[in-house]
Amino acid sequence: MRRVLKAPISTAIAIAVGLVVLVGYFFPFPLLDGLLQVALLPWALILAAVALWIGVLNLLYVHWRKVRERQKGSIYSGVLVLALLLTTMIGVGLGLNNTWAGRLFTYVQIPIEMSLMAVLAVSLVYACVRLLYRRFNLFTVVFALTVFLVLLSSVPLPFGELPFLSDTLRPWIAEVLTVGGARGVLLGVALGTVATGLRILTGSDRPYGG
Amino acid sequence: MSEVRCPMCGKTNPEELENCQFCQARLKPLIAPSPDDKPRRIPEDVEKPEGRESVEFEPDTEIPESVIPPSEEDEGVPEWLASIRTRAAEEGFTFEEEERAEAQFEEGEEPEWLTRLRTKQGAEGEVLVEGIQPEEEEQEAGYLERIRVLRGTEISESIEVQLEEEKEVEPEEESSVESEIPEWIAEDVDQEAVVSEEAVGEDYGVKWLRGTGERADYQISEEVVEEELSAPLEGTTTEEIAVSLEAEEEIVEQRELPEWLADFEEEVILYEEEEIPEGEVDSVREAQEALETPGTVREPEEAKQAQIPSKFSFEELPDWLGESLEEDVQIKEPAEEQLAEEEELLPADLPTWLKAMRPVDSISATISDIARVDEDVLTVGPLAGLRGVIPAEIEVSKPQAPPAYPLKLRVSEKQQEQAVLFEQMIVAEEEPKPILKPKVGRPSPIWRWLLTLLLIAAVLWPIISDRQNISLPTLPPAGVLAASELISSLEMNAKVLIGFDYQPGLSGELDAAAQSAVEHVLMRGALVTLVSTQPTGPALAVRFFQDTQAEYNYTWGQRVVNLGYIPGGPVGLYNFARLPQRAKPYTVEGYSAWGGEAGVLAPLQGIQQLSDFDMVMVITEEVDVARSWIEQVQPVLASTPLIMVVSAQAEPLIRPYFEATPNQVQGLVVGLAGGAAFQQLEESTGLARTYWDSLSTASLLAAALILLGGLVSSSLAIFERQNQERRAV
């Protein structure tokens, strides 16, 4: 297999760092541990923090350009810019413990996001009802029936818990079927992570470019 | 040693052979050969000019009988010819006249007709020329000119040049006259030098005969001709010449001419009057040129008819001759009337040898003969030029353009109808069929709004009515029970690390789920350190403590420390788990957390690693964040327990870590139900209890809507499917 490394330096750095971190997991050598703790991890945290700032500044620049050029939907961009500046000023200037910061967070951000979640709840119920009409087959019936049973067994009902659903069916669904599937998902994720790490270590995958 | 080329295969053979030694084809003709008649040799280097077909000598069909010497004729006469002669003799036809003329010709005597003509016009040519009166000179000059035009007689080029210089007549007329002079005369001059000076030199009336004499005879006669032509043409104009020509014609008609010449003149007139189609003009011209080439021999019709009496039937002739004659007769049927007139006018006293020599073949060849020549003449190969030869190369081997066949099929009406029907079927198959998309009914806004209102009512009704009728879970889950036990085991001023890693949108669920657990921690007098891997986590933590734990009179920086946001996700967590002092040196308020002027904050005293904390609690709704804590932090916690407070949606993926042995998560509180169970376990009040009735009512309503709606939707789907099947049937 012919591979051409366009950026051999960056590739070498990535492979070397990955090997150091991986070896540090299995062999707690003081030198490797010190190198990892002193140099590599702070660099990674600094880069992540700078990346967050770059993201915020980029968001501000993009929407500010839309407002300046008066593009379509620039009013929303203007609202976003104003909200960003206001939140930043309150958070940085007054601090997170300030009452205005708590109010801003409690009365603006949380209701907005919770409203979205509420709409999601209504939409899911409606979609589940229509699913049986649009795609009426065995799997949709099983899906809808499972949702129905889990809903009934997850919360205590006004007339009390259902004997079979609450103590037998619901735990079996949640702890056997669901956990079995979740473990399969976790194993797949772990194998995928190992494969991705090996690809990065061997230089086959270069998400850093090159 | 000379060689003869076989006319069939083209290979050379010795001259004495009669048959080709290669293909056994006959090399010599079947007719009796004359002493001078030798097999014709075709020079190899002779190439036939392109576009010009020449007719080769065909000894077996066209050689006149008169050219065969009498002495050898008897010996070489075939039976058919002998029988013809015998029959002619029986019916009174004799060849005495011809034989006598030939004898006279050989002995140098003048024929009788020539003597008579000479007597009539004057014995001496010079006397005739001098004695001609002016009027007679004009008539004579016109007569000569007329004869020359009609006969196509050639006066040698030198004479013509002199005539042009001296007479200065119109060049067009002269050129036209000159172009009409046949070449056969000039060729005969070279080929036949047997005519005597006396026979041709002084006879003006038969000027073409003079051409058959030698060149010396020409020189003698040129002077006379010049005198004849120059005198009357001097000082005359074209119109005068035309008028004189008309008058000359009348005189010529009245003049007594030899019968043979009169007949010949009639033939010429007939030939000129014959209409030639335009398309055959070229072929006629080519045929004339071919006939004028040396070696070509054409037999005049008159000679044929003279040689073969009409009384003889074709049955008595050999096959080849009979067929040839039959073809001629058939081809010339349209000109029967004309031939009949010619037969009536044909003279009987024309000498045979003169018939054979006169150039009537050049003008008596009919269109049919020319056409036949064009058709039969071989154009390629060593036998090029021969006629009637089987072509060496078959027609299919010749490169030729492919035949053009008509594209239109001949079909009947029924076939055409069937073809149209078949075409319609094919076109119908080729047309793309539209894909029938299943009818998707747009969600009815009425039903959506109705469903929304029902759910909102179910959620708000318990809150508005302030009725908490629905009992909390009596049996707490194992995770809640384990978490409660772990918190309960905390000592006073135990150091607890709590991670707020959830989104504000899910704060309603997680606040209620974590409220009882955090409250239990604070009740145990633990010192709390807050961190978050989410940007909004620190603010959520502040809000959470302000809203739910205000009654515990905590002071930021004293019992609770907010270290804020840990950037880098899993890497940040790993770094924070290894070196928390370096990862988060300051609090959210900007104070030094690990050793400023005020010293190390109480919650962080004695903390060098995460394992130094007494307990770690993570509140999150995201599976990845929970996994990062479990994978990056839990390994360095050693004996420090890890409690997870997660939303209901993350339970399936987090529960395996709790149920594993050894478990990586020692306590697990899931959602509002977990919070309510924890609250029930701790016998406290809080958000879980407040939300519990609403949650129960809304969940029951949602289950009912799903059930009823599912039944209705299923019924509609089944009904519609049956209708579709009925339509399909």
Highest averaged pLDDT of the listed ranges A23-27, B442-446, B584-588: B584-588
Residue B378 has pLDDT above 80, yes or no: no
Q: Is B571 on the interface with A (CB under 8 A)?
A: yes
A192 touches B: beta carbon within 8 Å: no
The mean pLDDT value for A16-40 works out to 78
Predicted confidence band of residue B238 (pLDDT cuts 50, 70, 90): low
B505/A49 CB distance under 8 A: no
pLDDT of residue B424 exceeding 70: yes
pLDDT in the model for residue B486: 92
* Those residues with Cβ within 8 angstroms of residue B5's Cβ, 6 or more apart along the chain or in another chain: B11, B12, B13, B41, B42, B44, B382
HSE-CB at B33 with a 13 A cutoff on CA atoms is 11
Containing B527, the helix (H) or strand (E) segment is strand B527-532
Type of residue numbered B230: S
Q: How far is CA B657 from CA A36, B502, B634, in A?
A: 28, 19, 11
| In the predicted structure, residue A132 carries a pLDDT above the cut 50 | yes
Q: Are A154 and B659 inside 8 Å of each other by CB?
A: no
Q: What ipTM was reported for this prediction? A: 0.79
Kindly tell me the sign of the dihedral angle through the C-alpha atoms of A81, A86, A92, A96: negative
Report the pLDDT averaged over residues B214-242. 50
Which tokens go with B169?
Answer: 């007549």
Task: State the Cα torsion A175-A179-A181-A184 to the nearest 10°.
Answer: -150
**Residues within 8 A of B (CB atoms), A 13-52 only:** 36-37, 41-42, 44-45, 47-49, 52
Write out pLDDT tens, residues A63-76: 999 999 988 888 99
| pLDDT band, very low/low/confident/very high, at B42 (cuts 50, 70, 90) | very low
Lowest-confidence segment of A152-166, B76-90, B167-181 by average pLDDT: B167-181
DSSP state letters, B461-517: HHHHHT---SPPPSS--HHHHHHHHHHHT--TT-EEEEEEE--GGGHHHHHHHHHHH
What integer pLDDT is reported at residue B306 of this predicted model? Answer: 45
CB contact under 8 A, A174 and B652: yes
Distance from CA of B422 to the nearest CA of A (A): 41
Structure-token pair, residue B116: 């008579």
Q: Considering the entire predicted model, what is its pTM?
A: 0.52
Tens of pLDDT, residue by residue over B248-294, are 565 555 555 556 666 655 555 555 555 555 555 555 566 566 555 54
Which pLDDT score, from 0 to 100, does residue B52 have?
Answer: 42
Residue B91 has pLDDT above 70, yes or no: no
Centre a 10 Å sphere on the Cβ of residue B322 and count the other Cβ atoms it contains. 15
The reply to whether residue B575 touches residue A44, judged by beta carbons under 8 angstroms, is yes
Residue for token pair 């330096």: A9
Q: Are B576 and B609 in contact (CB under 8 A)?
A: no
CA of B707: which chain A residue's CA is closest? A148
Q: Decide if pLDDT at B359 tops 70.
A: no
Average pLDDT over residues B700-709: 88
Within an 8 Å CB–CB cutoff, is residue B633 touching chain A?
Answer: no
- Interface mutation vs chain A, best among B713, B714, B716, B725, most A CBs within 10 Å: B713
Residue B507 CB coordination number (10 Å)? 26
Q: What are the tens digits of pLDDT across the range B658-703?
A: 888 888 899 999 988 888 888 888 888 888 888 888 888 888 888 8
List chain B residues with CB under 8 Å of A97: 542, 556, 562, 588-589
Looking at the partner chain, which of B471, B508, B556 has a beta carbon nearest the beta carbon of A97? B556
CA-nearest residue of chain A to B716?
Answer: A133
Comparing B607 with B361, the larger pLDDT belongs to B607
* Residue B80's pLDDT band (cuts 50, 70, 90): confident
What's the whole-number average pLDDT of chain B? 69
Which residues of chain B make contact with A160, given a CB cutoff of 8 A? 471
> What pLDDT is stored for residue B166 in this prediction?
54
Q: Cα separation of B702 and B100, whole Å?
A: 147
The pLDDT tens digits of the residues spanning B487-545 come to 999 888 899 999 999 988 888 888 889 988 998 898 888 889 999 998 888 888 888 88
Percentage of chain B beyond pLDDT 90 is: 6
Check CB contact under 8 Å for B710 and A148.
yes
Mean pLDDT over B338-364 rounds to 63
Identify which of A21-35, B49-63, B259-273, B678-692 has the greatest average pLDDT.
Answer: B678-692
